[in-house]
Structure 1
């Protein structure tokens, strides 16, 4: 059931406000008894192969702790529906103890008042919290006040290039130190109207897919999504305008960019040798292997030597059911599941990036990287995920405003400066409303 990362990111822009809801009626358990029988509810957000692997780990944890019973289910018919299910569970006082949640929901979930705070737990040196990426740590601590769970999935985007298209056009393959100009020049040379081949592809659906591909260009150029002092939008700065104008010039002036209205077609065209380059992540590797596409992966083209990327981590979020025994064992399970030993048997085994930096040289990950070429490059690119995508209330409205602005500009409708200024007004309204 778990959708591709592209679907996940697109769903983030449509989420609404999650109200603060209370619960009543269940007797509170305040004295910890680690030997007491405990029934935990675990919404995995997984199905198919990933769910099978995860169920094996659940079974193992229960064997290690016979007093703990974990009732694992997907939680909803699709991962996108988990947020609505969580809101309903809060109202009914039947929240799960653990749930897979998209990182973009983090601030809304914290505001619900129903999450556990595991800040003291992750401060334990044995947890090795610093091994998770900065973006993952920031997502788990959306306001900086509470840690609401553990990282579940980490990723980042890199530049994928189709070697068949490059070689056919006689263009040198991308290198890790490519500049924006190198990128633009190659995209133009790779575009061939006679064969309907494009040098690059970009989503113009107006979804989060459209928005989050702009953020690396913005950050590389010295810009920011939000003003750190006021909390208002900052993407309409000169740095943001220059970044969007660069993409506009490629799409409109050079006509070297395939503009995808669907968020999905450009990956298919890349796989079939009709698009030379795309920005994507580890979720694409298995499909490319199945398609037999010849490709390579490098960090994103940069400016001024900055090759920053964007990451969209998801969480195992923990919920407070006013029972210290459930809270203890839910936390222990999440801590155990996200240890390096178990993560190699879950995320690495199913083709995701490892959660922890210490896994990058493990035999399990190196074997998976041989099966999925480019996975090691994307893992190393995590070092370029230096800025966290905001998880503030109102981000969904901000994302929609920016996505629509980018989509219009890349299709030749208006200037970069005017479009981003208009988007900033809409984004600030969304941020005020939360």
Structure 2
């Protein structure tokens, strides 16, 4: 009986398991479902014949690009080594600086990778420019294997442009030396901030990068507002009443307890130095807190009265570049690697444990076995929805940032958001 390569690879997450699999390397890729026996007694031999034909296909080599932190890189290299040892194909991984610049120059020139890893919000622009392609018809992975937000983010304009493996968003981080119990409502959070906040003694209630539209999205969306939604007749929602209400809510409930600079660094550093009760930040922030020795917890965002926080989420995809339109050994290598990587439970569990990665494979994301801080971020991901991948969103970020900065500094929120909307519509025209 011939063994299914995907079965081998699915159980392979780290290089340490290679020895046990040495005898299984080089076997074919085929469906794990056995063909129905038609009574001729030939189903097994027919399956083996098909397997032999698939196994005789030439081995391929494919480039895979990614941009990782020092903590993440060794794990990724071990994963690729494990794949290469167990598969007849070879993946050549490369850690790339300035991914956007490199992909937009290398892919059109035919010098880029078969697949690269980045957040899903590139999808619309890259698909329009022909840098990536849809591969939905050829995949053996069902999108139902992933969380709903991840499956949604992997698609643009009817095309499955990549496969997802992790998520990120902002959640509530609290200092356990200051906060006895994480708040579930903004009212509870405000009560704690009011008690602790004392800027004359370098004590603050909250550190949150207010001027960043991504960080403020949970509150801008909390009462039915939105920055941009391509499915709506009025795609731009920056200046609608519900969005303005959400930003005003953040101004009223959070700004009084924050340092007086809305930029990322001053807001992030005050909590990292142990001088704030709360922070609203993402999983990338945890390495800083660990280095500083902060005793922290992570939970989903608290609920405002009459609303529900809905933060933007980013879903990391392995994208299919335009060269994957061509059938051949290299395309087969890239597709097998991507499908293996995103469905490998051990890889996702290890990433969660070692780097704080938020899994999107349902069997891991809903297992109940995640570290507490990762679970907090996973719960926050469930509150939100993916950032727009439409290229028009690129014109939204900066005007909204300017409007949020004005709002933080005491300017009229409605006027600031209306000015931003006028600028965005002018840029679209």
Give the TM-score of the pair, scaled to structure 2.
Answer: 0.79
| Rounded Cα–Cα distance in structure 2 between residues aligned with 1:44 and 1:198 | 37
| Rounded Cα–Cα distance in structure 2 between residues aligned with 1:174 and 1:381 | 14
- What residue number does 1:401 align with? 399
Residues 1:174 and 2:194 aligned together: no
Closer, same or farther in 2 for the Cα pair 1:174/1:347, shift >3 Å?
A: closer
| Rounded Cα–Cα distance in structure 1 between residues aligned with 2:286 and 2:104 | 34
| Rounded Cα–Cα distance in structure 2 between residues aligned with 1:286 and 1:271 | 10
| Rounded Cα–Cα distance in structure 1 between residues aligned with 2:234 and 2:307 | 28
Confirm or deny: 8 A CA contact 2:258 2:267 kept in the other structure.
no
Confirm or deny: 8 A CA contact 2:65 2:115 kept in the other structure.
yes
- What residue number does 2:154 align with? 140
| Rounded Cα–Cα distance in structure 2 between residues aligned with 1:165 and 1:136 | 35
Within a 5 Å distance, the mapping from 1:27-426 to structure 2 comes to: 35-46=57-68, 48-66=70-88, 68-74=89-95, 76=96, 78=97, 81-121=98-138, 124=140, 127-143=141-157, 145-166=158-179, 173-176=181-184, 178=185, 180-204=186-210, 206=211, 210-227=212-229, 228-230=231-233, 232-250=235-253, 255-303=256-304, 304=306, 306-321=308-323, 322-325=325-328, 326-339=330-343, 340-346=345-351, 348-360=353-365, 365-366=369-370, 369=371, 373-385=372-384, 387-412=385-410, 414-426=411-423
| Rounded Cα–Cα distance in structure 2 between residues aligned with 1:33 and 1:259 | 64
- Structure 1 segments unaligned to the other structure (5+ residues): 1-31, 167-171
Confirm or deny: 8 A CA contact 1:151 1:313 kept in the other structure.
yes
| Rounded Cα–Cα distance in structure 2 between residues aligned with 1:347 and 1:155 | 12
- Structure 2 segments unaligned to the other structure (5+ residues): 1-53
How many aligned residue pairs are there?
371
Deviation at residue 100 of structure 1 after TM alignment: 1.3
Closer, same or farther in 2 for the Cα pair 1:121/1:188, shift >3 Å?
A: farther
Confirm or deny: 8 A CA contact 1:188 1:256 kept in the other structure.
yes
Deviation at residue 331 of structure 1 after TM alignment: 1.4
Deviation at residue 110 of structure 1 after TM alignment: 1.1
After superposition, the CA RMSD in angstroms is: 2.5
Q: Secondary structure at the match of 2:259?
A: strand
String of CA shifts for 1:358-383, please: whole Å, max 9, x gaps.
114659x54xx1xxx42222223332
| Rounded Cα–Cα distance in structure 2 between residues aligned with 1:416 and 1:49 | 40
Confirm or deny: 8 A CA contact 2:227 2:396 kept in the other structure.
no
Closer, same or farther in 2 for the Cα pair 1:306/1:315, shift >3 Å?
A: same
Confirm or deny: 8 A CA contact 1:405 1:419 kept in the other structure.
yes
Confirm or deny: 8 A CA contact 2:271 2:277 kept in the other structure.
yes
